[in-house]
Chain A
Amino acid sequence: MKNVWAVAQRELRSYFLSPLAYVVIALFLALSGYLFALILANGRQASLQGLVQNVSVLYLFIVPAISMRLLAEEQRTGTIELLLTNPVQEWEIVTGKFLASVLLVMVMLGLTLLFPLFLYVFGSPDTGPIITGYLGILLQAAAFLSVGLWASSLTQNQIVAAIIAFALLLILWLSDNLGQFLGGTVGSIVSYTSVINHFQSFPQGVIQTNDVIYYVTLIVAGIVLSTLSLQSRRYR
């Protein structure tokens, strides 16, 4: 666990030493602020429901940008060899990286707390749905980052990692359409893999077990696959 934290700390510091973190956070804040204002002006409701449901689209672009360098860069510069010839295991590196990216997103989402603050100042929103809404978008970010982490473990090239991550996330979005087309049991299984069916109830103040299981499954799968991908050098 000590190594996980060491890796996470280093990664997080590295995020903030490069312009990437600032650019991504600024972009996210600008876009989500725009959406927030637009939805509020149209709906005139003191709720975050509209925003939370749209953040998912922003993630499609933001998450690959955050996750692309995580393992690709270490593999390109050879620092992965440095880590793995010290008493550190693959899963510790992967988990540390994942943790760092989640912490970055938490900082990013923390800054958006300004939006509900506005709602409290100028209206009286329901607190429950705001809390569950944030929990929902945090879980979703973690799941997407885990997928992005895996994409980053597959290549030494950050751009390629970002494109793979984007494609995978897009598939998670669009699989619902395929499910509806197929219909029946197979169709509903395919639809279940779509993220579209798992972020609707959080902003309504409802935490559904099957949604949580969906996200946790993605997180675990991403970490396990990334670990295997780092270990695969042994069989080449």
Chain B
Amino acid sequence: MIRVEHLTKNYGPRVAVADVTFDVDKGEVLGFLGPNGAGKTTTMRILTGYLPPSGGRAEVAGFDVATHSLQARANIGYLPETVPLYPDMSVRSYLDFMGKIKDIKDRRRQVDRAMEKARIAHRAADQIGKLSKGLRQRVGLAQALLGDPPVLILDEPTSGLDPRQIIETRNLIKSLGGEHTVVLSTHILPEVAATCSRIVIISNGRVVAEDTPENLDRRLKGAESIAVTVRGPREQVKTALKGVPRVLSVETEGGADGRPANGLASFTVQSEVGADIRESLAKAIVNGGFGLMELRPAHLSLEEIFLQLTTTDAPADGVAV
């Protein structure tokens, strides 16, 4: 449904998107993940025909976005990052105007349907400027859904929403998959894990990974890790843990978050894949005369994968992650 080949975009000498290639099949929900400034919005603007690519090509619903822009646009519902609304209009008249622009037949019913889907129908007569941020986001979403376009492109659809609205929106997006082809961008990780069937991670304008959330998880793990918190002298405990069979490495933890209280030491123990060494770890700690405070399997979360991917080949001009 969407085909992006070697897409490149320069703003003058600055490269915003470099050689990005990916496909999205019909009915798929693709998560477009990356830190702020990675090139997500630029890519989406190219897909929606707002900006022309500097190189490569992109196709939406079989139409090249550069040469058959109008036809491609007719197949897209787009929610830009800053939701573009006319604050002096009512929700209904705004959607009615968008319906005219989108050339939608049976406009009144379609507007009703879109409002229903985005759960904004109860505020149809209200002036947009007086709605809360969350409700405005819904109006923007209703606008994107208007007329059931086969392709939906949503730029950070949950930004600025409260936790409950985020969950509602995610569920809505999830339910859109299958019928619609969805590309959604975000820099919030749980979002893609919760809604997307496939993830493209982009950093500094380049695709650094592309896979399902589960595969990405697996691919980057390669070892089992266990988090241990112990009361006792840090170095002695570390030595004791290293002595346990099948342990590959022991790392002392203690970053900015979760620094243990006085007398406690936290470690991440990596062991061979398939080995459950929790029992032997506990035994080693008790035998050493230390106090076992916590012992649990640690999963490398998507967050860590993301950080790993977007920081390892640290770019020269350093994008903040």
A residues contacting B by CB (< 8 A) are 2-3, 6-7, 9-10, 13-14, 17-18, 77-89, 233-234, 236
Closest B residue, CB atoms, query A5: B100
Residue interface bits B50-88, CB-to-A below 8 A is 1, else 0: 111000000000000000001101101010101011111
A18 to B143, CA, bound (A): 23
Majority secondary structure, A binding face: helix
Which one, B51, B70, B87, contacts A233 given CB within 8 A?
A: B51
Contact across chains for A78 and B84 when beta carbons are under 8 A apart: yes
A14-B88, A18-B88, A77-B84 are known contacts. Are A87 and B102 too (CB-CB below 8 A)?
A: yes
B98 at the interface (CB under 8 A from A): yes
Which one, B80, B97, B100, contacts A2 given CB within 8 A?
A: B100
Which one, A2, A9, A14, A87, contacts B73 given CB within 8 A?
A: A87
Which one, A17, A81, A88, contacts B101 given CB within 8 A?
A: A88
A83 to B100, CA, bound (A): 11
Contacts of B51 in A (CB 8 A): 233-234
Contact across chains for B50 and A17 when beta carbons are under 8 A apart: no
Closest A residue, CB atoms, query B102: A86
Q: How many inter-chain contacts with C-beta < 8 Å in the A-B complex?
A: 71
Contacts of B52 in A (CB 8 A): 234
User: Which one of B11, B82, B87, B101 has the highest number of Cβ atoms from chain A below 10 Å of its Cβ?
Assistant: B101
| Minimum C-beta distance from B18 to chain A (A) | 18
User: Which one of A13, A84, A87 has the highest number of Cβ atoms from chain B below 10 Å of its Cβ?
Assistant: A87
A92 to B88, CA, bound (A): 22
A14-B86, A78-B82, A233-B51 are known contacts. Are A85 and B101 too (CB-CB below 8 A)?
A: no
Closest A residue, CB atoms, query B71: A87
Q: Which of B37-58 contact A (CB under 8 A)?
A: 45, 48-52
Contact across chains for B100 and A79 when beta carbons are under 8 A apart: no
B103 at the interface (CB under 8 A from A): yes
Contact across chains for B49 and A84 when beta carbons are under 8 A apart: yes
A77 to B81, CA, bound (A): 12
30 pairs from A and B in contact (CB 8 Å cutoff): A3-B100, A3-B101, A9-B97, A10-B86, A10-B89, A10-B97, A14-B86, A14-B88, A14-B89, A18-B88, A78-B80, A79-B84, A80-B84, A81-B80, A81-B84, A82-B80, A82-B84, A82-B98, A84-B49, A84-B50, A85-B48, A85-B50, A85-B76, A86-B101, A87-B70, A87-B73, A87-B101, A87-B102, A233-B51, A236-B12
